[in-house]
Structure 1
C-alpha cells in the first residue's frame, strides 16, 4: 500500500487510533517539543496540533515515531520485509531462458518504478507566495529546545542539482529561520549539498535550491537514507521503488528544479556562494547534545508554494530514543542485502539508539577464519556513511544484535581488552564534539566472536569456548558485582552490574582526574569481576545502562579515551566519558546536554488535561 501524500497517511493513522488531535492553542516555542518528546519516548501516537499560536497552519509531529508506523508508511508488515524486498530485487540468479525472464518480470516492474515522472499541475502549487508575500514566520516552525538559537525547520527535503553534471540530490538538513525570507542551510562538509555549493562557487553561479515540506512518507524517509553513489539512483528513485510507482514531480515556479508534486509546502530560492556565511545555532541535535554556533550558508527564499489546506510536518531530535531511531532502523534493513554482497560473512547489523546512529554498530558474522571480525569491521568502515562509525562490535552469528543487554554480556564474556580490541582513526561525523579534530578522530573495534587458536597464539584451529581466559592458559574471567565500592574525589554515583560493567558518574573539576580514578579503581579489589569501567559525567544516571552508554559514546575519542588497564591476572577496559578540559589540550567548547526547562515541563503537566491527551502518555 502506498500513500499519494502526507494527508492520506494521516487519515489512515487517524482510523487506526494512532493520531491524536489537539485543538487547544499550543505554543511552538518549546511546548510542542515537550509534548512530542513524552509521546515518542513511550511509543505513543502522532499528534496533529490544529491551533498553533501565531500560525494559520496546523502541525503534525511523531507520524514516524515507532518502527511499526515507519513500516506502515512504506506499505510493509514490518521493517524486516524491506530487506526481503531489496534482496529479491538484487538477486540476479535463475533468469535463464524464456521462463527465467518471465520470472523476473515483477523485479523489472519494481526497477521501472525508479525514475520519477514529470506532471504539469500539482497540489503543492495551488497557492503561491512571491517576493514580499513570503513570510516564513507564518509557518509553525518550532523552537525545539531552550538553548536553540531560534526556530528550526526540522523535516526539510532540500533539493539541489550538481552545477556541472546535473545530478540531482535531496537531503535533510536543518534550517534555522533567520528572517521572513532567509534561513541557514546546515550543509556539513561531507554532504552532497555542500559539494554542489562549492562547484557553484568555482563556476561563479548562485545555487538554486528548493525545499519540500511533506510529500508521502516514502519520500520523507528517502531524504534521510544514505544512498550509495550509483548513477541514476537518487532519493526520488528510491521513493518510487518504495511506493511501487514513479514519483510525481513538477517544475518549480521560480527555480529550474523539479519538486514533489504532492508536498504540503515548497520553499524556492537560492544560496549565493559568494555571500558571507552567517552564524547558525546552537541547536539541540540528534546526539542529545547541543551543536554550538558555527558559520553556515544562507538560503534566500524567493517563493513559497503550498496546498490550499496544507499541514506543516515537523520532528524533534534530542536524547534517544527519538523518531529518527526508527528511520535509522529502516535504513539498516534497506541496506543489509547490499552490505552482504560486499561482506558475505555479515549476518546482521544494528545501530542502537544509544549510539545515535554513528557512534555504535553491532554486527554479527558467520566466522570462518582468524581475524574475520576485524576484516568485517574494517569493511563496514568503508561503506558509505558507515565511515563515521565510532565503535564497531563484532559478534558471532546467532547473537541478537538488537538486544542491547545481551550484546554487552557477550562482549564481557568473549572480548579480552587489549587482545580483542583494536584502535584506529578515520572520518567522524561533523557533529561529534569529542573527536581529536573536527570530523576526524579515533575509532574502536571490539571482536567479541569466539576465538580460533591462531587468535590465541597457538597453532591449531579449534574454537575457544564460551567463557574465555586472557589467553595463554590464564584463569578465566568470571563477571560479578562487588558490594564494597571505593570512594574517590568527584564520584557522585556508581554501580556494578553482574555482567562485568562498572558505571561511575564523575563530577570532573581538574585535568587528569578521570585517568587517576581509572587507575585507582582498576587496582581496587572491587575490580575483580569487572571487564569495563565506564566513567561518565555527573549528569548520568548510573542505574540506566542506556543513559550511561549514550554519554560514553558521545564523550569519547575512541583512541584517546579508551585504555587497557591491568587487574591481577585480568585486564579491564576503561572508557573516559567525562567532560574534557582546555588544560587537557581540548580547545573546542564542550557542549551541554539537552535538558528541557522545568517551567515548560510544569506547564505541560498542568495543561495535559486541557490538550485532551490520554493520561497514559503523560
Structure 2
C-alpha cells in the first residue's frame, strides 16, 4: 500500500487520476467550488492537488471520488475483492471441522489474522518530523477549508479522531468534522449515536479530561477505515491491516498517551474537558445537501501539532449528491455485504445505497425469498443493525427479478415492480432511530421508517398482483420545485430528504402511496435547513480564473447554478 499521502498522489498522477492546480487558490470557498465542479463530472472526475494555498501546505481533494480511485486507495482491482476475502475468511473459520487434522489446517489462517494487528513501535514517526508546541501549535497556519457560504467557519473535513474507552482501553478511530473556533480550539462533532460520544460520556462520569488525537493523511486506507461501519469496540486499524495485508505501525503522541499511525501527514494532539460547557458549532453544508444547523458540541483543545516535512492536507467536500462520499459508500456496500449476510440477514443477496439517498435516507435490498413475510423480516433485521439502523426508506426486491443487475440498474427493476405494488399490503411503517443529520423528522434523531416490499408475492401473501398501467405512488412538491427542471436523481434526493414516513407518507382511500415532499419549516421546532449552494461571486471568480488554473476550453458549469431556485433564504436556515 502507500507509505504516505505523497506516494498515493504519485500513483494517482501516474494513473491519470490527478490534476495539479499550480496557481494560488483560496481555501475559503474557492477550493470547494473547483472541487464541486470536478466531483460532479461523470464517474467522479479527477482528484485535485492545490499546490499553493497560502499556508505552505498543498491541499488534496476528491482523493477517493471515483470507483478507480477508491479501488486504488484500498489496493484492489475491484471493490468486490475485499468482500470476497471477508466471506472466504468467515466461511473457513466458521465451517465445522471434521477432525483434528482439519482444525490444524486453520492455524495458518489464525496466523494471518495476527499479522494484521496494529503494532506499537518505540521510535518517532514520520508524522513527528516537525513538532509545533505552545503558540506555534496554531491551527490558522493550516489550509483548513471553508466549504460553503453559510458555514460557521472553517472545518477539518477528513480528520481521523482517536479516542479510547477509559474502562477497556479499546481504541476508536472515527471521522467527525471539526470547526476551527480559534488557533487552539475546535468543535468536536460527536453525534449521540457515535462511539466518540460514548467515550466522552464515560470520561464525563469519571470527571477526567479526555485525551484526543487527530490525524490527517497517511495511507488513504486509514481515511476509509475511519468511515467504516465497524461494531463499537472493534479497532479500525485491524480493518486497515486486513486491507493493507500488513499491520499499521503506531507511535506514541508527544502530549498525551494515545498512539497514532507513524506515517500520517499531520497529527493534532489535545484533549476535551467534559466539565466545561459545550460550544455552539455549525452551521455546516452537509452531505445531505442541506445545511446542518447550529447545535452544542464539545470543545477540543490543541496541545501540539506535528507533521511530515512534505505534508499534504487532505480534505473532502460534501453537499448535494453525488460527491466523493458516494464512492466511499460504494466501497462500504461491497465490503460489508458479507458480514450482513453472515451476521444479520442471511437472505440478503445485494444491498445498494444510491447516491441520491445520502447513505441513510434510501437503500435497496435484494433477498433470496423463500417464505411469506420474509421481506419485512429482513427489513426489521437491517433496521436493528449498526448504521443500517439510521435507514429511513428501504426497498426490497426478489433476487429472481435482479439477476445480473447492480447499482443504477436497480432503478428499472424498481420501476417495473411498482406497477404490481399494492400500498395497502406491501408497506411496512415503523419508527426508530435516524441519523442526527436527518432534518425532516419531528424529533432529532428519531422518526418514521418505511419499507416497500416489491418482492414477488407468494400465495400466502395474496399472490402476484396483475400489472397495472399506472404506478400507485404520488409525490407532492412545492411549486418552486416543480418549476426548477430538476433531474430524476435530484427529485429522489429531495423527496427522501424532505419526507418523514411517520408524518408525510400515507396510503390514500384510493390505494395510492402519497409522499408530501414539500419543505416544512413549521413542522420542525429546531428549524428547516436551506439547500447548500455556492455564492454567485465565487462562481463568477472561478469562471473568470478558469484558464489561469491550467484548464483548457470553457469552464465546467457550476453545479450550484442548477439548485439556486431551491434556496429559500439568505442564511443556512429557512
Please say if residues 420 and 468 of structure 2, whose CA atoms lie closer than 8 Å, have aligned partners that are also in contact: no
Counterpart pick for 1:179 among 174, 177, 182: 182
Task: Work out whether 1:443 is the aligned partner of 2:449.
Answer: yes
1:606 shift after superposition: 1.5
Counterpart pick for 1:478 among 454, 461, 469: 469
Quickly say closer, same or farther: Cα 1:336–1:31, change in 2 above 3 A: same
Task: Work out whether 1:380 is the aligned partner of 2:382.
Answer: yes
Number of the residue aligned with 1:322: 323
Pairs aligned (count):
544
Report Cα offsets for 1:39-69 as digits up to 9, x if no partner: 111121101100013x111111111000121
Alpha-carbon distance in structure 2 between the residues aligned to 1:565 and 1:101: 59
Please say if residues 441 and 524 of structure 2, whose CA atoms lie closer than 8 Å, have aligned partners that are also in contact: no
Counterpart pick for 1:613 among 548, 551, 556: 551
Alpha-carbon distance in structure 2 between the residues aligned to 1:614 and 1:256: 50
Q: Map 1:142-221 onto structure 2 (within 5 A).
A: 142-221=145-224
Please say if residues 129 and 304 of structure 1, whose CA atoms lie closer than 8 Å, have aligned partners that are also in contact: yes
1:97 shift after superposition: 5.6
Alpha-carbon distance in structure 2 between the residues aligned to 1:4 and 1:276: 40
Report Cα offsets for 1:162-183 as digits up to 9, x if no partner: 1121111010000000100100
TM-score by length of 2: 0.92
Number of the residue aligned with 2:532: 594
Report Cα offsets for 1:153-209 as digits up to 9, x if no partner: 000000001112111101000000010010000011111111111111111100000
Report Cα offsets for 1:113-150 as digits up to 9, x if no partner: 33101121210000000011111011100000011000
Q: What RMSD over aligned residues (CA atoms) do the two structures have, in Å?
A: 1.7
Alpha-carbon distance in structure 2 between the residues aligned to 1:433 and 1:151: 22
Secondary structure of the 1:419 match is coil
1:96 shift after superposition: 4.9
Number of the residue aligned with 1:121: 124
Alpha-carbon distance in structure 2 between the residues aligned to 1:84 and 1:405: 25
Alpha-carbon distance in structure 2 between the residues aligned to 1:410 and 1:223: 38
1:100 shift after superposition: 4.1
Please say if residues 74 and 218 of structure 1, whose CA atoms lie closer than 8 Å, have aligned partners that are also in contact: yes
1:101 shift after superposition: 5.5
Task: Work out whether 1:559 is the aligned partner of 2:502.
Answer: yes
Please say if residues 401 and 407 of structure 1, whose CA atoms lie closer than 8 Å, have aligned partners that are also in contact: no
1:215 shift after superposition: 1.6
Alpha-carbon distance in structure 2 between the residues aligned to 1:211 and 1:190: 20
Please say if residues 364 and 401 of structure 1, whose CA atoms lie closer than 8 Å, have aligned partners that are also in contact: no
Quickly say closer, same or farther: Cα 1:599–1:261, change in 2 above 3 A: same
Number of the residue aligned with 1:258: 259
Alpha-carbon distance in structure 2 between the residues aligned to 1:446 and 1:106: 45
Alpha-carbon distance in structure 2 between the residues aligned to 1:125 and 1:64: 25
Please say if residues 543 and 555 of structure 2, whose CA atoms lie closer than 8 Å, have aligned partners that are also in contact: no
Q: Map 1:399-548 onto structure 2 (within 5 A).
A: 399=402, 400-402=405-407, 403-456=409-462, 464=464, 468-469=465-466, 476-479=467-470, 500=471, 531-537=472-478, 538-539=480-481, 541=484, 543-548=486-491
Number of the residue aligned with 2:72: 72
Alpha-carbon distance in structure 2 between the residues aligned to 1:154 and 1:162: 24
Secondary structure of the 1:24 match is strand
Q: Which structure is richer in relative contact order (CA contacts within 8 A, separation 6 or more)?
A: 2
1:282 shift after superposition: 0.3
Alpha-carbon distance in structure 1 between the residues aligned to 2:12 and 2:540: 29
Alpha-carbon distance in structure 2 between the residues aligned to 1:405 and 1:602: 36
Please say if residues 394 and 447 of structure 1, whose CA atoms lie closer than 8 Å, have aligned partners that are also in contact: yes
1:536 shift after superposition: 3.1
Alpha-carbon distance in structure 2 between the residues aligned to 1:586 and 1:47: 38
1:17 shift after superposition: 1.2
Number of the residue aligned with 2:559: none
Report Cα offsets for 1:319-348 as digits up to 9, x if no partner: 001111111111111111111113121111
TM-score by length of 1: 0.85
Alpha-carbon distance in structure 2 between the residues aligned to 1:450 and 1:329: 27
Please say if residues 72 and 78 of structure 1, whose CA atoms lie closer than 8 Å, have aligned partners that are also in contact: no
Alpha-carbon distance in structure 1 between the residues aligned to 2:499 and 2:184: 39
Alpha-carbon distance in structure 1 between the residues aligned to 2:421 and 2:381: 20
Quickly say closer, same or farther: Cα 1:536–1:100, change in 2 above 3 A: farther
Number of the residue aligned with 2:34: 35
Alpha-carbon distance in structure 1 between the residues aligned to 2:285 and 2:115: 38
Alpha-carbon distance in structure 2 between the residues aligned to 1:130 and 1:147: 32
1:535 shift after superposition: 2.1
Task: Point out the more displaced range, 241-250 or 110-119.
Answer: 110-119
1:410 shift after superposition: 3.5
Alpha-carbon distance in structure 2 between the residues aligned to 1:617 and 1:371: 53
Quickly say closer, same or farther: Cα 1:572–1:614, change in 2 above 3 A: farther
Please say if residues 436 and 442 of structure 1, whose CA atoms lie closer than 8 Å, have aligned partners that are also in contact: no
Alpha-carbon distance in structure 2 between the residues aligned to 1:328 and 1:71: 12
Number of the residue aligned with 2:237: 236
Q: Map 1:100-119 onto structure 2 (within 5 A).
A: 100=102, 104=106, 107-119=109-121
1:591 shift after superposition: 0.3
Number of the residue aligned with 1:91: 91
Report Cα offsets for 1:497-529 as digits up to 9, x if no partner: xxx3xxxxxxxxxxxxxxxxxxxxxxxxxxxxx
Alpha-carbon distance in structure 2 between the residues aligned to 1:608 and 1:72: 29
Number of the residue aligned with 2:567: none
Task: Work out whether 1:579 is the aligned partner of 2:519.
Answer: yes
Number of the residue aligned with 2:562: none
Secondary structure of the 1:560 match is helix
1:21 shift after superposition: 0.8
